[in-house]
Chains A and B, each alone.
Chain A
Amino acid sequence: MDNKEKIKNIIRTLGEHPDSEAAIKILTDMGTNSSDDEIRELTAQTLIRKNTHESLRVVLISKGKGINDLSATVAMASINELLALKDKKEAIKILDDTIKMHSDEEVRNTARSVRALMTFSS
């Protein structure tokens, strides 16, 4: 098992950890800022699966993270994970707020596209 696989297992464990707040903080601080695409991808997916306001905010609003990631693979994986959510209410609410109020136009456009996808998929 190489180091990347070990880190992936740590991310998976944090995704199911009972101390959810602390786990989200570590995932946000370490996972989303990783130089490795696979780790960023898995972190974004894990945060979306958490489906809390804090975890979704990171992958929907932050520039260069989640759906706004420069890597198309990471961005697409994040969108797929959002579409796979059973309860999309919180994600849609954050996306609506981002479309209305975010300062960065690129982020607003991405949010609008994802919002449209989620509307059609639900």
Chain B
Amino acid sequence: MEIGKLSLHKAISPKKVEKAVDLNENKFATNPFGVSFKGNVIQADVFESVKKISPISKINEKSKLFASAVVSGINNFNEAFKSRMNSVVSFGKKITTNVFDTLERIGKTEITFDMEGIKNKIFPDRQYSVKNLSSKTVNELQDMWKKLEATAA
């Protein structure tokens, strides 16, 4: 264990580190960690991007992305809209044909409502109003009178 400690101490001794820093100070000013790996010194600055992207190009790229997204969105919308419109149009056509069929049926069908009969059933006394009685013949009135007298007795 002592041997290990010694060797490690020797390997990272402050003197050696200082020397290495001095050596690299001038040559690799941008690389403060001018550490060599197997003899090759990393030339490029790995911590800082060499290429500087201007804000305009950033905006352009962003706008391109945005535009492409918009275009694809519009395309998607168009397709969805077309498909929906097709379904709406077909639905409308179906409704129209149904309505025409119904109208044709209504035109051919005779619908009669015995409104007087319905009213008399809802309001049984209504048939004895003077207005309703005036449409009856004298014989009908006589029969009604007789029936009323018979029920009263």
Contacts and interface: CB of A to CB of B under 8 A. Distances in A.
Contacts of A93: none
Contact of A16 (B134, B137, B149, B151): B134
B141 A10 contact: yes
A30 to B, nearest CB: 6
Binding site of B, secondary structure by majority: helix, strand, loop or mixed? Answer: helix
A19 B137 contact: yes
Contacts of B136: 13
Contacts of A53: none
A13 B152 contact: no
B125 interface: yes
A23 interface: yes
Interface string B122-153: 00010011100110111101101110110110
Binding site of A, secondary structure by majority: helix, strand, loop or mixed? Answer: helix
Given A7-B145, A10-B145, A13-B133, A26 B138 contact: yes
Interface residues of A, number: 18
Contacts of A7: 145, 148-149
Contact of B142 (A3, A4, A16, A26): A26
Contacts of B142: 26, 30
Given A3-B151, A17-B138, A30 B145 contact: yes
B137 A13 contact: no
Contacts of B151: 3
